[in-house]
Amino acid sequence: MNVLAPQKEDDYEGLLKIVEDSLSKGTNAIAICTTDDKTMAAAVKKANRDKVPVVVFNSISKVKDAKVYSYVGYDQKKAGASVAKWLGTKYADKKLNVGILEGLPGVFTENREGGFVDAAKQYKNIKIVAKQPANWDRGKALDTATNMYQGNKDINTFYGLSDEMALGAASAAKQAGIKNAITIGIDGNPNTLAAIKKGSVTGSVYTNPKMMGKRAVQDAIKAIKGQKKANVINEIPTVVVDKSNVAKYTK
């Protein structure tokens, strides 16, 4: 098994080249993730052309006009909605002026932001006052969150559509001296869980990456063996992690 990735998350051409190279070397199956739906469709179609089975992970959004053996991931719209529910209930007595740090254009950003925006309408304490792209990048998120706050000093909450952007926003909030700033992201990565434990980040949607990876590999093996899948969609459950339950997810 080979684990390959382009140098940058937005290097879509690089990802397609990796897929093409893997296919030319006679790979038996491909498990793939990308935030760009057009790149995903192009990659899967290349594998379909060579009759190589594909497992999509970290997403359950259907790839248009292409054949996928299985999807292993979480419902990103539900994940975004869970952030709104967590903010709306945990901080019900606090007025939250939220700045959203968006990822690169595509289905990931649409679902993670859309789920939050729709669910936030149910909570009177949540007001979305700004949203700007930070392209999944921590450094860019630091600058973007800083600019957001300079333009609106009422912002006291940052929702990063990924952990890396939440970490960048947390640094920005600290540098700006925002008292009791709330920062939350999506992923549940180890460095973010450590930051939650430390108190520098408030929360994250834990997406269970270990389970996701394990099931993706298991499905790839089944595909190679020619086994039929009863369920094409394998949805991984998520949970919002904060200081009250982070110990459970850092063992």
The residues spanned by each domain of the chain are: 12-74+208-237, 76-206
Looking at residue 159, its amino acid is: Y
Q: Quote the Cα angle for 40-104-6, to 5°.
A: 55
What ranges in 163-237 are assigned the alpha helix state H?
163-176, 190-198, 209-224
The first and second tokens of residue 154, run together, are 């009422």
> What does the DSSP 8-state code read for residue 8?
S
The model's pTM is 0.92
Q: Distance between CA 102 and CA 161 in Å, rounded? A: 6
Shared fold status for 12-74+208-237 and 76-206: yes
Which residues of the chain fall below pLDDT 50? none
Domain spanning 12-74+208-237, CATH class? alpha beta
CATH number for 76-206 (one of 3.20.20.480, 3.30.365.10, 3.40.630.30, 3.40.50.2300): it is 3.40.50.2300
**Residue 47: left if φ>0, alpha if ψ -120 to 50, beta else—which one?**
alpha
> What does the DSSP 8-state code read for residue 7?
S
pLDDT at 231: 76
CA distances from 10 to 155, 160, 251 (A): 29, 17, 32
pLDDT in tens, 62-121: 999 999 999 999 999 999 999 999 999 999 999 999 999 999 999 999 999 999 999 999
pLDDT at 22: 96
pLDDT at 40: 95
